[in-house]
Amino acid sequence: MSRTGEIVLSVIGALVYGFFSIAGGLMVWVSNNEAVLNEATDEMKQQPGIAPGELDVALEGIQGGGWFLVILTVISVIMGIISIVFMKGNSKPKAAGIMLIVTAAVSTLITFGALIFGGIFYLIAGIMCLARKAPQSTITME
């Protein structure tokens, strides 16, 4: 049985998670780049109603959130790749489906819904893995 649909959905989900990983990496880069950081703080200081202490807290949150996003999305991509390997040749589709569903649920819940776009693809692929039955091999007596 061909698992092309599940594999395609898993690849699309992994690409979406990869995009968010790049976004998290950019958040970390911006918080570590002094020139960009100084320019951003200078612009934000000109805005009325923003205290300097609030700006520092926000920048620390961006760096911490960036690392969190990078780690979580890289783990999600790795889990997707492992489940694709399990689906190849129809070797372990149930294990792949469970991994995809758990990864989608955990990543979406931990980020309070921010990673739901990648999670939707993983969830659909996981449900398809569990719902489709593998063809039964018949034993013939000679």
pLDDT band at 1 (very low <50, low <70, confident <90, very high): low
d(CA 52, CA 39): 14
State pTM to two decimals: 0.82
Domain ranges of the chain: 4-131
pLDDT tens track for 15-64: 999 999 999 999 888 888 888 878 877 777 777 777 767 777 877 888 88
Query: Can you give the pLDDT at residue 137?
Result: 63
Query: Can you give the pLDDT at residue 3?
Result: 87
Residue 83: pLDDT above 70?
A: yes
**What residue has token string 């202490």?**
53
H helices present in the chain, as ranges: 4-32, 34-45, 52-87, 93-110, 116-131
Residue 12: pLDDT above 80?
A: yes
Residue 124: other Cβ atoms inside 10 A: 19
pLDDT tens track for 101-114: 999 999 999 999 99
